[in-house]
Structure 1
Amino acid sequence: MFWKVALLSASDKGARGEREDTSAQVIRELVEEELEGEIVEYRVVPDEKDEIQAALIEMIDYFQADLVLTTGGTGLGLRDVTPEATLKVCDRVVPGMAEAIRAAAMQRTRRAMLFRGVAAIRSNTLVINLPGDPKGVTEALMAIMDMIPSALLQVKGIGRDLDA
């Protein structure tokens, strides 16, 4: 199945053009190769809760992305607000996906317990927060990649529910 994917990078330096968004390129490659999806929208916004929320809403409601992947803003810094912005615009959480990302990363480094990313649903779109660095993005996506199609089918109402 073809998946429409939107990519949102939360980065003050990226939004000002002071840093190349290498994590987004990694995500783009993995989405195209592993998920057989297409990036339908890509945006870099500063670490501002309101701007992240507005971008997520537009990607979901206007571009009708099946999946929105965010990168950045998931640490403990004062400006790391991507999880809060995600939860503000979403209706339901999918805790197992974020737990799987943390568990996989913990195999490599105990610092992974500081990752605050979430996975959640708005309407019939799955939103997954990823770390901001390319290595972390690869590790995180590969930890859950095999379950993303099943999750998307369930969110769309075409997959098998776990309760069924």
Structure 2
Amino acid sequence: MTDSLLPQDIVSLARRVVEENAAIGRKIALAESCTGGLVAAALTEIPGSSAVLDRSFVTYSNEAKQECLGVAEDIIDAFGAVSVACVYAMARGALENSHADIAVAISGIAGPDGGTDKKPVGTVVFARAKRDEEEPDAESRLFEEHDRSGVRRQATLCALELLLP
């Protein structure tokens, strides 16, 4: 039904996100690292997404996280870019630098290398911040598919789910 380059499950979920957020008048901001803009790409596949997506930050490097989102260098030094503390700061920074009502941040280790015993390949951390709430929600996941595309696909789906009302 679609000519999208993205998998149908991602496009279908993105459609739900756009439709349901548009219905309640909610604006979205994104702070993506390991997904490299895939969440924003999925949302912008959907006609009418401009009513929902305010902006997206692809902050792949640590410097970009600091400069664009205000993530403190000491957070990255102490906990790493793939940490609850980092994505928490990324989500808050996305809200502070947008007109959005909700922001989702993603940082992870897509592989094939870069993993450690404590943070193996497939580790992805998410945070969701809402303008009307003090504390963002954050969680860490270890995805089963350990190839780079699989991790990024699963992370994109998870981020989209976090954007559902």
Kindly indicate which of the two structures has a greater share of residues assigned to helix: 1
Q: Same fold judged by TM-score > 0.5?
A: no
TM-score by length of 2: 0.41
